[in-house]
Structure formats: C-alpha cells, structure tokens
Amino acid sequence: MATTRVTAPAGTPFIEVERDFDAPRDLVFRAWTDPKLLVRWLGPKRLEMRVDYWELDEHGGKYRYIHSGETGEEHAFHGSFHRTTADPYTLLQTFEYEGAPGYVSLDELRLVEEGGRTIAKLRSVHQTVEARDAMVEGGMSEGMNDGFDKLDELLAGELAGAR
C-alpha cells in the first residue's frame, strides 16, 4: 500500500511530499510532464483542469494551467521549468498562484527508481516561512469538500459541548 508522507519542519520554508508508485520512473515522469496525462490527476476533484500552455524540453520551459469550477471560479498557476540532461528525471519549476501574485515557490520533483517501483520526492522551497504556511493552508482549502465543512461544524459543536 502506497503512503504519502508530508514533512514540514517548523521554522523552515520547506515542505516535502514523498510517495511510491508501482511503475518505472519513465512512466511516472511521463504522467507528470505530458499535459494530456497531467490534467487527469493533478487538479482538485471538484474542479476541471485545463492547460493554457505547456512548453517543456530537456533544458526547461514554461507552463500555465487553470482549475475551473462549475460556478465559473478560476484558479490559474504559471511558472518556468528548469532541467538538465545530466539528470533527466529531475524537474525544477517555479510555481505561482495568480491569485497571490509575487508569492513564488521553487518546486523540485525527483524520481528514484527501485526494483521497478518509483519513489517521487517533491520539495517546495518558499520565500518565507509565512508563505510556506499560507501555501499549506491554501492546499487545505483545495482539499476541502462537504466532508470538511461538516467536520468543522461537528468540531465546533463537540468543542462547545466539551466538559
């Protein structure tokens, strides 16, 4: 069973995510860098993901994509890719949410193959600790759904009734 591990050391601007995949790394890399495949998994479940532009070669490139909802809400993201032929399974990219212009993180994806399986290691470096924390909170709302709303209500009730 694959596990997703998240590490966010206090007082640092880092956040790390690690996950194993039951596939060789060239497939994982393809699913991560072919926009036709990426749109099938990267977006939040309740939003539609579309790619505005995606230009990537062995040296780098640039991208922009948009998550949109049925009610017309749109969240756009863009950045630059950096790559080196010396390490083709590492992808560096800047990442900026257009709803918070000027807050840019540097995201590194490294794929390590082990016995036919691939460990994906993601590391985001934010400009400040505060920006890192805000990003995690943002990721929180992205994962938000009815369940979380109901959870908040229940917690509020439970805490209000706490002995």
Partner 1 sequence: MHNQVVIQNPTADQLSAVFAALADPTRRAILERLAGGDASVNQLRAPFAISQPAVSKHLKVLESAGLVSRHRRGTANLSRLEPEALREADDWLERYRAAWEERFERLDEVLAELANPPS
Torsion of CA 87, 78, 141, 107, to 10 degrees: 20
Task: Compute the C-alpha angle 6/87/65, nearest 5°.
Answer: 60
Decide if residue 102 touches partner 1 (CB under 8 A): no
Q: Does 154 bind partner 1 (CB under 8 A)?
A: yes
CB nearer partner 1, residue 86 or residue 116:
116
Both tokens of 112, joined, read 């390590």
Asked if 42 touches partner 1 (CB under 8 A), the answer is yes
Least distance from partner 1 to the Cβ atom of residue 96, Å: 18
**Is 46 one of the binding residues for partner 1 (CB under 8 A)?**
no
- Is 125 near partner 1 (CB under 8 A)? no
Task: Confirm or reject binding of residue 10 to partner 1 (CB under 8 A).
Answer: yes
Q: How many residues bind partner 1, per CB under 8 A?
A: 46
Is residue 155 within the footprint of partner 1 (CB under 8 A)? yes
Q: Which residues bind partner 1 (CB under 8 A)?
A: 1-10, 15, 17, 19, 21-23, 27-28, 30-31, 37, 40-45, 136-137, 139-140, 142-148, 150-152, 154-155, 157-158, 161
